[in-house]
Structure 1
């Protein structure tokens, strides 16, 4: 009886220590990246024609003639600096120009006299050359004074900000009687309601896009069509490319869309990805390389929730998102282990891992 009890205890212990199925992450071959999958990115609405306006010279603002929301015409005066310093420089330049002109007239008269004397052999050739040099110096001083006069007139004209095009004031960044630096933005204007969306896209996504690709934008409950117009050839921050989409508004609802979409708003840019149906790919984490190029193996999940090692043929290039093409060894619809394959063995019982997340776009 004692032996029977001991054997029973051993049997129960062995049953309690039986290994549980190992949770694994799988992917159904042929379904990843299928047509209809959508990638979403953040974009910003902005006016197609816009400008930050400021004064070229530093000074004190004495008047701003417009407010946010005002409609302006090209050439309209929007703001003015204190013109006193510019007028003083203009007056000084005018005086310098008159003095230089008078000096040139005097030198011209002297040069004619010296040339006449030289023709009568009364003065030496050296004295004539000295008169000519003085005349050239007077002419140069006049040209320099005229250039300073033109600069002073330009400075006076630039003490005013004028509208570069017909549009609307969207921002007023300073107040009258404030001191501003050279180039500091004072007003922001934009032309009309024609908008575009600028978004930063990962290189893996941008490399597959060409101008003319259609996308969809979302702002709250409103959706609108987008068309890719320009794509930067440079990567910012190492892996992001700037893409600019043109906003397409249907003619029937153009008035409503113009009132609800505003420049500066953050919107969602949705791109629909399509891939060739005959192409099967897997992530690199699912593939166990073989001894020869193109040879590899994967673990395939069977109907009994056990895994079997399967030899496959892979492509020689790495696809976007660190995936490889599968040319032989798998059929569409089979489930392949895509994570932790190095820690599994043939015939092992596994359980498909079901991730729990509140983030959009779960595991594939």
Structure 2
């Protein structure tokens, strides 16, 4: 079939085509679309590492044993307070000194009364000795007069008088012995009172019964001490614990002695490792949770009442991880990463994620990948949030 050109019209097989332009001008070349510049990104490899299966929860720091310390003597004024909150104390250390002026005066009075009672004992002992001598003499005279009466040398009345004298002397001895017993009892009473006053004097120095750390101080100079009101509360031996709660459905997974990783949201440098000390036998019927106590290692950063994050480690195994920053949440709620295909190409890869491996530096946190990636794959980290599926990229080294 022929083609006939008529000016700007080309007739091809009966079809009219307008060519445009002036006769004799060459046809314009088609436009080439502009290339989209490659986006700068950094890559990180999928790594295999040990992963701890854990239960995440929160808890509050508390003392294992909070010991109240009160004075053992009441109604004595506090003269001196020698420790403050946060101080470490040792057994026998003097914590508070109470006013002992009244007690010392009572002790001096008690000593005088004891000496007086002892003097009365000695006096009664002398009286007893005299009464016993009189009795001995009366008994000797009675024996002599009995012999004389047998010979008819004295009257019966005279013998009766001598017998009465012996009875009187015997009664004097019994009375002297009773007086001694009474005086000795008085000595014992005065000695007991003096001993009690001495004990009270010793109690004017309130001493630490055990080692620990002063958690609270209630003692104030000038206040009256009471055996019912504590002067301090002390963390026995400085030992702290973390109390956490877990749902009853998770309790079978937790064992006493299990490792617990502990951290603080307010202080990233606080990273500790404790262990499960006890699991409460009862479940709260309102919350369906049980209390678990976790032993804490000694640390100057810990304070009772602190709120901490805890991860109870259940098991350890090996798994795949990528930097947490590489994992992006998609509009449909799934998770994805941009996997490098080679050269300048990346593609969105949907992944199933597991646990987050926390780090003291949040930028170094890693995410477990359960499905979607293989060892050796590389994913976009820096710049991932600006990509779309199929974008061209320019690989840059990590800063």
What is the TM-score when the length of structure 1 is the normalising length? Answer: 0.50
Q: Which structure has the greater CA radius of gyration?
A: 2
